[in-house]
Amino acid sequence: MPRSIVTSSSPSRRGFLAAVGAATFSVALSACSGGSGSGGSGGSSAKPLSQADIDKAMKTPTELTFWTWVPNIDKEVALFQQKYPAIKVKVVNAGQGVAHYTKLRTAIKAGKGAPDLAQVEYQAIPTFTITDSLLDLSPYGAADLKSKFVDWTWAQVSGSGGEIWAIPQDTGPLGMLYRQDIFDKHGIKPPTTWDEFAAAARKLHKADPGVYLTNLAANEAAAWHGLLWQAGAHPYALSGKSDITIDVNDAVSKKLGTYWGGLAKEGVISTDPDFTDGWYAGLNKGKYATWITAAWGPAFLSGSAKATAGKWRAAPLPQWDASSPVSGNWGGSTSAVIRSTKNPVAAAQFAQFLNSDPASAKMFATEQSFFPATKALLADPSFAGATPTFYGGQKVNQVFADISATVSDDFQWPPFLDQAATDWTETVGKSLADKTDSGAALDAWQQRLTTYAKGQGFTVKSA
């Protein structure tokens, strides 16, 4: 397994976390102060381009700048340049997640220095469309790609008016990785429902107080959103430009809160912050018997918990209703074209080629260990049939490919995601860690988000 797994997978979720930026405040503030300029104009006319126009643009010498944190993406870029020698793509690593977005927002605001294209995670797309910073790719041939991509990924990049804001690159449908050896030792079968899961959690912790069935990280708002997604919640809905519905404490959320808050209070699951030294040690030393994670998790884990090779297996998420299995998504990202680009045609073609060309899409799976967003690759035996020894030869990709087909396509993200994530950690996450009332914490989260959204000029509703 390539070393890049560790670095490539973590950013898929990192955009969701608070920045690990170490810049002192004064420096950061002066660096971020932009003008009050608008997000550029043009390109909004939805008239499809003719193939002749596209061909002409692709033969005109052009240089594109592409901000991305994906390691070794030069290899995929080379495939593009082989096909279109006139277009030069300059790859710039402007940081990961929040650091990347902060620089991008600053450049967009300043009106110059913004790239032609950028890596944008699904959940971050609305934070850029609210400021009109992304180019609608539908007139540039992107609409024809719809059938190539998994339905829910296409829904994630589509706007309410039929716009296509980005092209999906990789995904993270949620599943469960579990320790076969620990399960066997205590006679536990992989739980298929959340009720079974709770019973297993109690049984396991009672049998061995040093082991928890799972760790629900108190700082991982992204995982919580994935679980919300699975439970069928619709926490956010933007209608029009300035009306937002916020429902993070509705009945579905309360059900989730009671469930996880209850297990945390009983002390049968742990709530350690993830992607920290202690958490890595916990995975390696058998403190957690499962990891509820995304499809990028298997590759990530095999790089970070080498001591446990061969002991893990993959299974779908436990279900609320076993008769109709569903899942949510955590992480993954897209390529988006920034609206201020001077080369919209070439940039749009690049975004499309990078993620939909079979050779390029496959390379993301083999080189970067990305979990695919295209239907063809998910069905490709060379991908789905892989039998990694870390998982005892199980066809792990197949498990997650099946899960991907069960992810619902109606989950929306708020246009102020970082705030939602931070507020989650300080209310719901804190209540899980401190074993306090999760219902009150959900209400506090709702309250905070409502106040924030109103302060930002939204008209806030709740169902």
Partner 1 sequence: MTAMTAASTEDPRRAGPQRRRLGGLRHGAAGPLFIAPFMVLFVLLFLTPLGYAAYLSLFQERLIGGTTFVGLDNYMTALKDPLLREGLLRVAEFFAIQVPVMLLLALLFALALDSGLLRLAKVIRLGIFVPYAVPSVVATLMWGYLYGPDFGPFAQLGRKLDVPVPHFLSDTWMLGSLANVVTWEFVGYNMIILYAALRTIPGELYEAAAVDGAGAWRIAWSVKLPALRPALLLTLLFSVIGSFQLFNEPKLLQTIAPDVIDSSYTANLYAYTLAFTGQQVNYAAAVSFLLGLVIVVFSYAVLITANRRRTS
Q: Among 31-39, 64-72, 89-97, 115-123, which window interacts with partner 1 (CB under 8 A)?
A: 31-39
Question: What strand order describes the sheet that includes 167-173?
Answer: 87-92, 62-67, 117-121, 329-337, 167-173
Residue 267 touching partner 1 (CB under 8 A): no
Structure tokens, 223: 């995982």
Phi, psi (rounded to 5 degrees) for 22: -110, 5
Specify the DSSP class assigned to residue 231: T
Q: Among 12-20, 301-309, 319-327, 399-407, which window interacts with partner 1 (CB under 8 A)?
A: 12-20
In 3D space, the residue among 422, 56, 453 whose CA is nearest the CA of residue 244 turns out to be 453
Q: How far is the CB of 172 from partner 1 (least distance, A)?
A: 21
Instruction: For the segment 143-182, give every residue that binds partner 1 (CB under 8 A).
Output: none
Among 2, 6, 18, 357, binds partner 1 (CB under 8 A): 18
Residue 439 touching partner 1 (CB under 8 A): no
In 3D space, the residue among 38, 238, 266, 45 whose CA is nearest the CA of residue 135 turns out to be 45
User: Of 93 and 276, which CB lies nearer to partner 1 in the complex structure?
Assistant: 276
Q: Among 75-83, 139-147, 385-393, 452-460, which window interacts with partner 1 (CB under 8 A)?
A: 452-460
Among 2, 7, 28, 199, binds partner 1 (CB under 8 A): 28
Q: Among 68-76, 175-183, 345-353, 423-431, which window interacts with partner 1 (CB under 8 A)?
A: 423-431
CA distance 191 to 307: 25
Residue 211 touching partner 1 (CB under 8 A): no
Determine contact, residues 423/452, Cβ cutoff 8 Å. Answer: yes
Q: Among 265-273, 365-373, 382-390, 403-411, which window interacts with partner 1 (CB under 8 A)?
A: 265-273
In 3D space, the residue among 313, 317, 319 whose CA is nearest the CA of residue 330 turns out to be 317
Q: In whole angstroms, how far apart are CA 324 and each of 65, 192, 229, 406, 408?
A: 44, 12, 14, 9, 12
Q: How far is the CB of 242 from partner 1 (least distance, A)?
A: 4
Residue 209 touching partner 1 (CB under 8 A): no
Residue 29 touching partner 1 (CB under 8 A): yes
Residue 192 touching partner 1 (CB under 8 A): no
Residue 367 touching partner 1 (CB under 8 A): no
Which x/- pattern over 33-62 shows residues binding partner 1 (rule: CB under 8 A)? x--x--------------------------
Q: How far is the CB of 456 from partner 1 (least distance, A)?
A: 4
Kind plus residue range of the DSSP H or E element containing 329: strand 329-337
CA distance 214 to 176: 10
Determine contact, residues 90/66, Cβ cutoff 8 Å. Answer: yes
Instruction: For the segment 334-353, give every residue that binds partner 1 (CB under 8 A).
Output: none
**Three-class DSSP category at 50:** coil
Residue 26 touching partner 1 (CB under 8 A): yes
Determine contact, residues 413/126, Cβ cutoff 8 Å. Answer: yes
Q: How far is the CB of 277 from partner 1 (least distance, A)?
A: 5
Q: Among 82-90, 289-297, 384-392, 419-427, which window interacts with partner 1 (CB under 8 A)?
A: 419-427
The beta strand positions in 116-259, using DSSP E, are: 117-121, 167-173, 175-179, 236-239, 243-246
Residue 10 touching partner 1 (CB under 8 A): no
Determine contact, residues 218/274, Cβ cutoff 8 Å. Answer: no
Residue 237 touching partner 1 (CB under 8 A): no
**Three-class DSSP category at 416:** coil
Contacts to partner 1 by CB under 8 A:
17-22, 24-26, 28-30, 32-33, 36, 98, 102, 105, 130-131, 218-219, 241-242, 271-273, 275-278, 281-282, 285, 287, 415-416, 418-419, 422, 425-426, 429-430, 432-434, 452, 455-458
